[in-house]
Chains A and B, each alone.
Chain A
Amino acid sequence: MKYLTYISIGVFALLLIYAAYGLPYRGDPNALVNQEISLTGTPVASSYYIENAMKDANTPNMVTSVLGDYRAFDTLGEEVVIFAAGMICFLLLNRERKREARKQ
């Protein structure tokens, strides 16, 4: 059973190495994600961000501009996830504490 797990991990690694044949070379400027126009003729998001971040939001740091302006709804979701994680820690551990206090 243990050897089966090792073999499946090895198969997983080999599968990933096979999948690397389809990936672009490191730092290739002509890769699909770095084009200005995608295969379907629509503008690629990253090139749009690079060209218009300073014009739209007056912010030299493009990462801040993407995080806070273009994808602000995404950031809002992430912040709600963090808040929910804090609430889960607080509620689960506090319920346990109250139950123990009642037992004593």
Chain B
Amino acid sequence: MKHGSSSPIILLLSRVLSPYIMLFGMYVIFHGHYSPGGGFQGGALLASSIILIRIAMEEKVHQLHFNKDYGIPLGAIGVLIFFGVGFIALIMGGYFLDYGLLPFPGMITAELRFYGILLIEVGVGLAVMTILVSIYDNLLEEDDDESI
């Protein structure tokens, strides 16, 4: 599949729309406590904004946007954020993923749980975004020599 389009309408529209989709994805992740949303949906929205640029632009441009080598390592960091929050709670004397014992000073247990959920949502969003982009990259990479 050839990357990139020559139509100016597609180039302009994808360039305008992509940051707004990304902003909305951030909103969905960080407002997930009060409205429908959370890490999975926000991560899918962030991935869609990146894949929109990948469909519309040529390869030189979209590699500046999000490099394909960063896909798997950033996904691993997302999983490690989740594990790390669990292990911090374990080290502080609670159960695994028991956010009530996270070492943030001056908060009651319910607030600690609130921020623990926020931390793992960020980890989930990062992992989902990078893994979806990485699957897209791997599926479409290097098929110019053989016409599939």
A89 at the interface (CB under 8 A from B): yes
B34 touches A76 (CB 8 A): no
User: Which of B83, B117, B130, B138 makes the CB contact (< 8 A) with A69?
Assistant: B117
Of A7-15, A23-31, A35-43, A51-59, which binds chain B?
A51-59
Bound together, the chains give a CA A104 to CA B34 distance in angstroms of 56
Per-position contact with A for B111-139: 1 when CB-CB < 8 Å, else 0? 10110110011011001101100110011
A90 at the interface (CB under 8 A from B): yes
Residues on the B chain within 8 Å of A82, using CB: 75, 127-128, 131
Residue of A nearest to B113 (CB): A57
Give the number of A-B contacts (CB < 8 Å). 97
B25 at the interface (CB under 8 A from A): no
A89 touches B128 (CB 8 A): no
Bound together, the chains give a CA A79 to CA B113 distance in angstroms of 20
Q: Label chain A's interface by main secondary structure.
A: helix
A64 touches B38 (CB 8 A): yes
B135 touches A86 (CB 8 A): yes
User: Which of B78, B114, B124, B141 makes the CB contact (< 8 A) with A75?
Assistant: B124
User: Which of A69, A83, A90 makes the CB contact (< 8 A) with B113?
Assistant: A69
A61 touches B32 (CB 8 A): yes
A63 at the interface (CB under 8 A from B): yes
Bound together, the chains give a CA A98 to CA B96 distance in angstroms of 41
Residue of A nearest to B34 (CB): A60
Residues on the B chain within 8 Å of A87, using CB: 72
Residues of chain B from 16 to 55 with CB closer than 8 A to chain A in the complex: 32-38
List chain B positions with a Cβ less than 8 A from chain A: 32-38, 71-72, 75-76, 78-79, 82-83, 86, 96-97, 99, 110-111, 113-114, 116-117, 120-121, 123-124, 127-128, 130-131, 134-135, 138-139, 141-142
A-B contact pairs, 16 of them (CB 8 A): A59-B114, A60-B33, A61-B33, A61-B34, A61-B35, A64-B117, A69-B117, A72-B86, A72-B120, A76-B82, A82-B128, A83-B76, A83-B79, A86-B134, A89-B135, A89-B139
Beyond A58-B114, A68-B120, 6 additional pairs, beta carbon < 8 A: A61-B35, A63-B38, A64-B37, A69-B99, A72-B120, A76-B82
